A and B are shown apart, each in its own frame.
Chain A
Amino acid sequence: MRNTNTMDATSTGAIKSGMRRKMKARLSWIPVLAALAILILMLIAGQVHFGSFVTPAMLSSLLVDNAYLVVLAAGMTFVILTGGIDLSVGSVMAFTGMLSAKLLSVGVPVALVIPLMLIAGALFGTMIGVLIHFFDVQPFIASLAGMFLARGLCFVVSLEAIQVKDPFVLGLESARLGYGDWYITPTGIIALIVIAIAAWVLAYTRFGRTVYAIGGNEQSARLMGLAVARSKILVYVVSGVCAGIAGLIFTSYTAAGYSLNGIGTELDTIAAVVIGGTLLTGGSGYMVGSLIGVFVYGVIKTAITYLGADASWERISIGILLLAFVVVQRFIVARANRN
């Protein structure tokens, strides 16, 4: 035993680990690629089935109509990457929308209203994050409280829908920059900018890397001396701010603030993020995956409209897709553990 040639052992080990490494590196992208494959397959199937499904107008509307969801998914990705969950986003989106509609209707200038929306979202996020980190409340429950609170506060603002007439807010949706049949609205641009910034933060900042580290192993992250407490709270703040931005987009999209907006949106968001390949246990996932996840969701919605099928199929297909992806994730994790 003593005289084993250590050089030999390490070099073969290195070769083996090199091969394994390539497999592993691909492993974390597999779910994203799978989502992309499904998206493309659905587009092709749609094209074959309907004749003219994939058109510039349809692809443009995919982004524009789901801009709010893209923004929400960006925030949710941060939260899920740490291994948490945020159920409050739909309600917070509705609340910030209500708040803006109310403020605008009493004549508060839009330049003040928009920052206020973002601050309101951030406050909700802070509350949830503090409950989770300092009081050891499970993310599910803490964000549930946030969800209740925001939903109830919507009705405190107003029981009725409030129409929004502010030209700037409306312009975010109605203004169209186009090239041929392709078009994009300011809301679409906002969504893309949010995704781009979020992707950059995740990949190129210490906060972003800490988010991954926490999701990978919180205990290790703490022992490595990373700012775990701050980052854990910050992800919920980010998610809250994103809900604020989504509130703005949704208000401009519907031209009104309404208390029942965005019910169930948190589930759509979680589904989109998971379908996009982010591991629910945290630590693995990419922003671009969440964007693809939203598009998959959007295509399902469009296809169901095209089919004239019952709208209920939308939720069922999302449910099935979510299940399929979770099971796939489960096996990937199980395999990674075995290695």
Chain B
Amino acid sequence: MSENAVVVEMRDISIEFPGVKALDDVDFTLRSGEIHSLLGENGAGKATLIKALTGVYSIDSGTIRVSGTERTFAGTADAQTAGIATVYQEINLCTNLTVGENVMLGHEVPGRFGINWRATHAKATTYLRQLGVDVDPRSQLASHSLAIQQLIAISRAMVVDCRVLVLDEPTSSLDRSEVEQLFAVMRRLRSRNVAILFVSHFLDQVYEISDQMTVLRNGKLVGEYQVGELSRSELISKMLGRELDELESIARNASRTIDRTGNPILKVTGLGRKGGIEPTDLDVYDGEIVGFAGLLGSGRTELVRVIYGADRSDHGAIEVRGKSVRLSTPRHSSDHKIAFSSEDRRAEGIIGDLTVAENIVLGIQAKRGWLRRVSKAQSDEVVAHYIESLDIRPASPHILMSNLSGGNQQKVLLARWLATTPQLLILDEPTRGIDIGAKAEIQREIAKLAAAGLGVIFISSELDEVLRLSQRVVVLRDRRKIAEFDNHENFDIDDIVALIAKEGAA
């Protein structure tokens, strides 16, 4: 495939945001008639690279050539003119309009009295048919499944006669047969020499459909490979990488034995949510850290959200200390001394315009209700305690949360939950996007808390972190728990990688 003509050539691309180097001298090449997967974990820079290519972000340095001509994109319109069309994960169409309009909007066929709808719809039908999509162009977009909407979005890209099609996580909400339908369309486009950039966190799909792979990690290029030359395990290790040096200092925690005789803190049976996580069982005992291993989209986040009541479950039961409970809202869970720290720190964790102290006390205050305010003395004491014990910097309780670095914000959130004295702490990616020093501190703190009897569910994309901290490891894939085992000294990352990579595990 790689002998095909180069359509997009990105060289030495760098993009910097305040405090983050999102892309660091990355090269990327896309050829006509190939399906090229872009791979990497969260924050690896995939989305930034795509946004640079589609004109959403302007690049700080580097060059973008499309069909040999150097281009600078000032906006999405420029990229579209250059023949680059994008279909995003959250499909960017208007659900309140008809299918035909969504395909043709901005390219309607004019008639004598304004838009000629008959001709417009007919033209839309032609484009849809080309992709094998047989829907009535006069039907409402909202009446079609996400899979069909995705294909409609691709049809729209065809109207502007694109040479490059960017598909950003198109399969994340499709079922198997819908994925097949999408792949059929992708193959058809490939045969028409369209260059397709494909992003998916489902490795099966990547191996099934793509010709080339480019792997990014932490904003840097790891390499470009042909699909045949890289095994799954190799790919996963390349995506995840290892940051062992500084963290080796934390002794592996696996050997600690957990008393699993009495009632577990949390017992989950058959808990699931349609489109999120298939029915799953899980126990967490006192003093135990249960690590979730799995790639993004494996159902790891979805499972804990359902447990905490952040999302509603549609079946299954939960017991807390042997008593059957309903945890349908975060409020209920917090009443049962369960705390949850979301992976999305900015949107679901911090209250940016409040101070560090107010953020820490918020958890206790929410439990107490508004009438009984946490007294100044008590608040000062709690805040001072956690600022010191978690080494939150700057050590000033009165600065705004939004002025803290990511690692310190994460510590404040940890403090918020610990201050409510939970019996079970659910941490979703608590160490993502923070520097290594803070990472080690947070890991050490979690280990200490568990040793003191707290139950912990710990989610991380970094497998060595999961292995180092947990006494038990749950492996998830394709929204299902595929394995659960007691962690022990001679178990290593490659074993988990092998589990995740195992093709078509049933």
Q: Which residues of A contact B (CB under 8 A)?
A: 1-2, 4-6, 9-10, 13-14, 17-18, 20-21, 23-25, 28, 200, 203-206, 209-210, 212-213, 215-217, 219-226, 283-284, 336, 339
Residues of B within 8 A of A336 (CB): 142
> Chain A at the B interface: mostly helix, strand, loop or mixed?
helix
Mask of B113-147 contacts with A, CB within 8 angstroms, 1/0: 11101000000000000000011100110111100
Asked if A284 and B96 make an inter-chain contact with CB atoms under 8 angstroms apart, the answer reads yes
Give the contacting residue for B97; candidates A20, A213, A225; CB below 8 A. A213
Q: Which residues of B contact A (CB under 8 A)?
A: 76-77, 80, 86, 88, 92-97, 101, 105-106, 108, 113-115, 117, 134-136, 139-140, 142-145, 148, 156, 176-178, 180-181, 504
Known contacts A25-B139, A25-B143, A209-B105, then 11 further A-B pairs from the complex at CB < 8 Å, ordered by chain A residue: A1-B176, A1-B504, A17-B135, A206-B108, A209-B108, A209-B115, A210-B105, A217-B95, A221-B94, A284-B96, A339-B142
Q: A17-B145, A212-B94, A212-B96 are known contacts. Are A225 and B140 too (CB-CB below 8 A)?
A: no
Asked if A212 and B97 make an inter-chain contact with CB atoms under 8 angstroms apart, the answer reads yes
Q: A2-B504, A10-B181, A14-B134 are known contacts. Are A209 and B97 too (CB-CB below 8 A)?
A: yes
Asked if B115 and A17 make an inter-chain contact with CB atoms under 8 angstroms apart, the answer reads no
Name the residue on A nearest B134 (C-beta): A14
Asked if B94 and A206 make an inter-chain contact with CB atoms under 8 angstroms apart, the answer reads no
Asked if A226 and B177 make an inter-chain contact with CB atoms under 8 angstroms apart, the answer reads no
Name the residue on B nearest A213 (C-beta): B94
- Can you report 18 residue pairs joining A to B where beta carbons are below 8 Å apart? A6-B177, A6-B181, A9-B177, A14-B134, A14-B135, A20-B143, A25-B143, A209-B108, A212-B94, A212-B97, A216-B96, A217-B93, A219-B92, A220-B93, A220-B94, A223-B92, A226-B105, A339-B142
A312 vs B117: C-alpha distance when bound (angstroms): 47
Give the contacting residue for A205; candidates B106, B115, B136, B139; CB below 8 A. B115
A206 vs B177: C-alpha distance when bound (angstroms): 36
Asked if B145 and A6 make an inter-chain contact with CB atoms under 8 angstroms apart, the answer reads no
Q: A204-B113, A224-B92 are known contacts. Are A209 and B142 too (CB-CB below 8 A)?
A: no
Asked if A223 and B76 make an inter-chain contact with CB atoms under 8 angstroms apart, the answer reads yes
Asked if B97 and A4 make an inter-chain contact with CB atoms under 8 angstroms apart, the answer reads no
Asked if A24 and B101 make an inter-chain contact with CB atoms under 8 angstroms apart, the answer reads no
The 5 closest A-B pairs by CB, nearest first: A204-B114, A216-B94, A21-B143, A216-B96, A9-B177
Residues of A within 8 A of B504 (CB): 1-2
Asked if B115 and A225 make an inter-chain contact with CB atoms under 8 angstroms apart, the answer reads no
Residues of B within 8 A of A226 (CB): 105-106
CB distance from A336 to the nearest CB of B (A): 6
A339 vs B108: C-alpha distance when bound (angstroms): 29
Asked if A17 and B176 make an inter-chain contact with CB atoms under 8 angstroms apart, the answer reads no
Q: A25-B139, A205-B115 are known contacts. Are A213 and B105 too (CB-CB below 8 A)?
A: yes
Name the residue on A nearest B88 (C-beta): A223
A23 vs B140: C-alpha distance when bound (angstroms): 10
Asked if A217 and B142 make an inter-chain contact with CB atoms under 8 angstroms apart, the answer reads no
Asked if A205 and B114 make an inter-chain contact with CB atoms under 8 angstroms apart, the answer reads yes
CB distance from B502 to the nearest CB of A (A): 15
Asked if A4 and B176 make an inter-chain contact with CB atoms under 8 angstroms apart, the answer reads yes
Residues of A within 8 A of B92 (CB): 217, 219-220, 223-224
Name the residue on B nearest A220 (C-beta): B92
A283 vs B97: C-alpha distance when bound (angstroms): 8
Residues of B within 8 A of A339 (CB): 142
A91 vs B92: C-alpha distance when bound (angstroms): 38
Name the residue on B nearest A9 (C-beta): B177
Name the residue on A nearest B138 (C-beta): A25
Among B92, B96, B145, B181, max chain A CB count under 10 A is at B96
A339 vs B180: C-alpha distance when bound (angstroms): 23
Give the contacting residue for A6; candidates B86, B94, B180; CB below 8 A. B180
Asked if A225 and B76 make an inter-chain contact with CB atoms under 8 angstroms apart, the answer reads yes
Asked if B142 and A24 make an inter-chain contact with CB atoms under 8 angstroms apart, the answer reads yes
CB distance from A306 to the nearest CB of B (A): 39
Residues of B within 8 A of A284 (CB): 96
Asked if A209 and B144 make an inter-chain contact with CB atoms under 8 angstroms apart, the answer reads no
Asked if A17 and B180 make an inter-chain contact with CB atoms under 8 angstroms apart, the answer reads no
A219 vs B140: C-alpha distance when bound (angstroms): 19
Asked if A204 and B115 make an inter-chain contact with CB atoms under 8 angstroms apart, the answer reads yes
CB distance from A332 to the nearest CB of B (A): 12
